[in-house]
Amino acid sequence: MEVKNMIYSTNNIQSNSTSNYQPNDILDKDAFLKLLITELRYQDPVEPMKDRDFIAQMAQFSSLEQLQNLNKNNEYLLKLNQIAFSFNTISMIGKKAVFEDDSGQIREGVVRGISFEGSVPQLDLGDNGMISIDAVLKVADQDI
């Protein structure tokens, strides 16, 4: 079957059905299966799809599905990491933080609060002002 015939057949099916397809949508597994079924339905009976072509397309489908699942798992792990980081940062409240200021001097102060504005949390050290968590060298109980 020629590609242009398949495209023509696929376009006719899409134009006759109500679809929510957006040009920026990615090809998900449902769309992939619909395309494969359409290809099988409108294949040339004299020269049907070869087994190896079908197997290759199914392998592509399997790879696509695995990549999508991997992406979802990575997004989930990133969210869990962000939550854990937030809880660890909150646990610093009331503790002494040793940090390096802009001039390179080592200073310390008690963490009074935390601001999560932006991508890097900021620690409120009262009179020492707000510092980035990246500047913290050590965190300990106040009596140490």
Convert the pLDDT of each residue in 97-130 to its tens digit.
Answer: 999 988 889 999 999 999 887 778 889 998 888 9
Confidence of residue 25 (pLDDT cuts 50, 70, 90): low
pLDDT of residue 29: 72
Which distant-in-sequence residues (6+ apart) come within 8 Å of 44 by Cβ?
A: 1, 5
- Is 132 strand, coil or helix? strand
Q: How far apart are CA 80 and CA 3, in angstroms?
A: 45
pLDDT of residue 144: 54
Which residue has better confidence, 7 or 72?
72
Which residue has better confidence, 73 or 43?
73
Q: Are 92 and 80 in contact (CB under 8 A)?
A: no
Say yes or no to pLDDT of 11 above 50. Answer: no
| Tokens describing residue 129 | 């002002």
Dihedral (Cα; 94, 100, 105, 110), 10-degree rounding: 0
Which residue has better confidence, 113 or 23?
113
Decide if domain 92-140 falls under CATH 2.30.30.
Answer: yes
pLDDT of residue 55: 80
Q: How far apart are CA 109 and CA 102, in angstroms?
A: 15
Domain-by-domain residue ranges, the chain? 3-87, 92-140
The alpha carbon dihedral of 34, 37, 43, 48 has a sign of positive
Nearest to 41 by CA among 10, 11, 3, 2: 10
Which residue has better confidence, 120 or 17?
120
* Entry pTM: 0.47
Mean pLDDT of the residues in the chain: 78
Parallel, antiparallel, or unpaired for β 113-115 and 106-110? unpaired
